[in-house]
């Protein structure tokens, strides 16, 4: 199987598992979900190392919003 | 002044003056629409101040019309009022200058068709891209609905995960890349040309664009000093050694069939085509950047593999990544192309091409 396909499939599984897991734990904070998504995304990228058409704008966006939410949570901003 | 009814010119003038009343009606209609806009903005502002000062209204809205709370937030009111004001100003501008909406519509349509070309350049394959776009749109709709209307956070997170997956699928390459197998085949493909050029001295090749669905050829001068030949003379050069007095040879470079790629029939830019072939298909470099200034095209290729071809191929047609790039440039511009020079600076190979008239 293509490395990119494996990356996408495993990312889908990881994201759905994260949603199911956090909703089971009755987490109502969207920032927690987003941070876990970011973690899953970068872990998956690290394992599969897919080649991209352009810069990793999804990763950059996730990193930006995670950092923003963390900064708000820890009252840095 | 009396108007002669029998005179055709006068009749025409008379008819052109007839719609005096409709102009007044149009003015009245325009004024009514503008007044409506002002009334709507005033109402919105009044509702906003009322909602902020009247707790009963807020309670009623949250019980009966929760969406109203979002619409009556200061930001939403500012956005709606701003949009209405811009539209009204635009309409007044059109009315005063006398330009019709048809003209503006045409301009907008032209702009949209340009946008469509840009979008097609970005999303140039159907299957995966369509699925990714559908997934992203679905995720956006689900996220917005579940956050603003239903208020279910896990569902919102599911929407966001759909958006992440869709955008990730869009950012991945579209085709299976080469790898060692492709590398070996490319290396083998250069051997034929290498054997053909092995016998004598060779000069810089000129890549000839495909004519009538034919393949891309490269004219290789067999003299060190280049002679000034016309394109037609180049096209009539022999394709193999027939004697010792040939001035040049026509050879099939490795990228001679690149003009037959179905995706190249679409409106893809040069950079997109180069990325498609060099990065996504042949995997001979990891990134491509293009700059075109007049008749000179500069292509920068990161991590380019320049060890695939033999010495004669390199001397005449350039390194394999540059040779493939030259074929693509010749096809896109439909002009002969010659490689001026190539320079390796660190990890980057910079090749300069000239388009010949």
**Mean confidence (pLDDT) of chain A:** 86
SS3 assignment, position B297: strand
From the CA of B98, how many Å to the nearest CA of chain A?
45
Based on the structure, what is the number of domains in chain A?
1
The bridge status of strand B206-208 relative to strand B217-221 is: antiparallel
The most confident of the ranges A26-35, B83-92, B172-181 is A26-35
Residue B307 has pLDDT above 60, yes or no: yes
Banded pLDDT at B103 (limits 50, 70, 90)? low
pLDDT tens readout for residues B185-224:
888 888 888 888 887 788 888 999 888 778 888 988 887 6
From the CA of A33, how many Å to the nearest CA of chain B?
6
Residue B60 lies in a domain: yes
Banded pLDDT at B249 (limits 50, 70, 90)? confident
Residue B3 lies in a domain: no
ipTM here: 0.94
Q: Mean pLDDT, to the nearest integer, of B242-270?
A: 80
Task: Indicate if B128 and B209 belong to the same structural domain.
Answer: no
Residue B320 lies in a domain: yes
Asked if A30 and B177 come within 8 Å (Cβ–Cβ), the reply is no
Asked if A19 and B167 come within 8 Å (Cβ–Cβ), the reply is no
Query: Which residue, B154, B171, B188, sits at the end of a domain?
Result: B171
B215, with CB counted inside 10 A (0-12, 13-18, 19+), is middle
Query: Which residue, B144, B171, B198, sits at the end of a domain?
Result: B171
- Chain B residues with CB inside 8 Å of A39's CB? none
Any CB–CB contact under 8 A between B152 and chain A? no
Based on the structure, what is the number of domains in chain B?
2
Banded pLDDT at B259 (limits 50, 70, 90)? confident
Task: Indicate if B196 and B317 belong to the same structural domain.
Answer: yes
Range of the domain at A13: 3-73
**Would you give the end-to-end CA distance of chain A in angstroms?**
44
The CATH number of whichever domain residue B219 belongs to comes to 3.30.1380
- Chain B residues with CB inside 8 Å of A56's CB? 171
DSSP H or E segment with residue B65? none
Task: Indicate if B124 and B73 belong to the same structural domain.
Answer: yes
Task: Indicate if B279 and B185 belong to the same structural domain.
Answer: yes
pLDDT at B176: 55
Task: Indicate if B266 and B222 belong to the same structural domain.
Answer: yes
Any CB–CB contact under 8 A between A4 and chain B? yes
Task: Indicate if B263 and B135 belong to the same structural domain.
Answer: no
Task: Indicate if B220 and B125 belong to the same structural domain.
Answer: no
pLDDT at B200: 76
Task: Indicate if B152 and B236 belong to the same structural domain.
Answer: no
Question: Tell me, what DSSP letter sits at residue B117?
Answer: H
- Chain A residues with CB inside 8 Å of B147's CB? 30
- Chain A residues with CB inside 8 Å of B177's CB? 51
Residue of A nearest to B172 (CA): A52
Distance of alpha carbon B173 from alpha carbon B264, whole angstroms: 16
Task: Indicate if B132 and B189 belong to the same structural domain.
Answer: no
Residue B10 has pLDDT above 70, yes or no: no
Banded pLDDT at B178 (limits 50, 70, 90)? low
Q: Mean pLDDT, to the nearest integer, of A51-55?
A: 77
Any CB–CB contact under 8 A between B123 and chain A? no
Residue A49 has pLDDT above 70, yes or no: yes
Cβ B222 vs Cβ B199: under 8 Å: no
Q: Mean pLDDT, to the nearest integer, of B260-276?
A: 82
Task: Indicate if B165 and B275 belong to the same structural domain.
Answer: no
- Chain B residues with CB inside 8 Å of A54's CB? 171
- Chain A residues with CB inside 8 Å of B275's CB? 53
Distance of alpha carbon B172 from alpha carbon B301, whole angstroms: 19
Task: Indicate if B22 and B152 belong to the same structural domain.
Answer: yes
Q: Which of residues 19-48 of A touch B (CB under 8 A)?
A: 19, 22-23, 27-30, 33-34, 37, 41
Task: Indicate if B37 and B113 belong to the same structural domain.
Answer: yes
From the CA of B327, how many Å to the nearest CA of chain A?
22
Structure tokens at B187: 């290396």
Any CB–CB contact under 8 A between B161 and chain A? yes
Structure tokens at B94: 């059109």
Range of the domain at B269: 180-355
Cβ B350 vs Cβ B221: under 8 Å: no
Query: Which residue, B171, B202, B224, sits at the end of a domain?
Result: B171
- The runs of H, that is alpha helices, within chain B are 8-17, 20-53, 55-64, 66-71, 74-97, 101-122, 127-144, 153-171, 180-197, 231-235, 270-274, 311-317, 320-333
- Chain B residues with CB inside 8 Å of A23's CB? 154, 157
pLDDT at B111: 64
Asked if B161 and A37 come within 8 Å (Cβ–Cβ), the reply is yes
**What whole-number percentage of chain B has pLDDT above 70?**
79
Any CB–CB contact under 8 A between B156 and chain A? yes
Higher pLDDT, A42 or A50: A42
- Give which of A70, A68, A9 is closest to A40, Cα–Cα: A9
pLDDT tens readout for residues A55-77:
888 999 999 888 888 887 777 65
Cβ A7 vs Cβ A56: under 8 Å: no
Q: How many separate helices (H) and strands (E) can be counted in chain A? A: 3, 0
Least confident of B4-18, B51-65, B73-87: B4-18
Per-residue b/e over A29-59, b at no fewer than 16 CB within 10 Å? ebebbbbbbbebbeebbeebebebeeebebb
């Amino acid at each position: 199987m293509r490395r990119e396909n494996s990356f996408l499939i495993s990312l889908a599984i990881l994201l759905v598992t994260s949603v199911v897991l956090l909703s089971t734990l009755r987490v109502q904070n969207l920032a927690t979900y987003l941070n876990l998504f970011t973690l899953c995304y970068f872990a998956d990228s690290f394992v599969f190392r897919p080649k991209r058409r352009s810069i990793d704008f999804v990763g950059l966006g996730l990193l930006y919003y995670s950092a923003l939410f963390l900064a708000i949570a820890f009252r840095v901003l | 002044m009396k108007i002669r009814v029998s005179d055709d010119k006068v009749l025409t003038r008379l008819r052109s003056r007839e719609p005096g009343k409709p102009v007044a009606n149009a003015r009245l209609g325009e004024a009514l629409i503008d007044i409506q806009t002002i009334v709507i903005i005033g109402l919105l502002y009044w509702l906003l101040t009322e909602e902020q000062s009247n707790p009963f209204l807020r309670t009623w809205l949250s019980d009966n019309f929760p969406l109203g709370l979002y619409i009556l937030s200061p930001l939403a009111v500012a956005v709606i009022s701003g949009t209405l004001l811009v539209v009204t100003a635009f309409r007044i501008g059109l009315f005063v200058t006398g330009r019709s909406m048809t003209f503006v519509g045409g301009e907008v349509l032209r702009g949209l068709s340009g946008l469509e070309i840009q979008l097609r350049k970005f999303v140039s394959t159907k299957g995966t891209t369509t699925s990714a776009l559908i997934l992203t749109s679905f995720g956006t709709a689900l996220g917005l609905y579940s956050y603003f209307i239903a208020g279910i956070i896990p569902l919102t997170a599911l929407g966001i995960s759909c958006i992440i997956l869709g955008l990730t699928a869009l950012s991945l390459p579209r085709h299976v890349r080469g790898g060692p197998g492709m590398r070996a085949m490319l290396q083998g493909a250069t051997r034929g040309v290498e054997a053909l050029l092995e016998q004598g001295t060779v000069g810089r090749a000129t890549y000839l664009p495909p004519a009538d669905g034919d393949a891309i050829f490269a004219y290789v001068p067999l003299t060190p000093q280049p002679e000034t030949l016309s394109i037609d003379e180049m096209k009539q050069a022999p394709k193999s050694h027939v004697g010792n007095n040939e001035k040049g040879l026509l050879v099939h470079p490795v990228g001679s069939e690149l003009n037959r790629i179905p995706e190249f029939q679409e409106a893809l830019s040069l950079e997109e085509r180069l990325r498609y072939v060099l990065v996504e298909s042949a995997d001979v470099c990891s990134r491509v950047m293009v700059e075109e200034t007049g008749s000179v095209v500069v292509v920068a290729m990161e991590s380019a593999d320049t060890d695939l071809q033999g010495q004669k191929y390199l001397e005449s047609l350039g390194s394999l990544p540059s040779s493939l790039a030259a074929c693509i440039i010749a096809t896109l511009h439909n002009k002969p192309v010659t490689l001026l020079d190539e320079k390796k600076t660190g990890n980057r190979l910079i090749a300069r091409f000239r388009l010949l008239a």
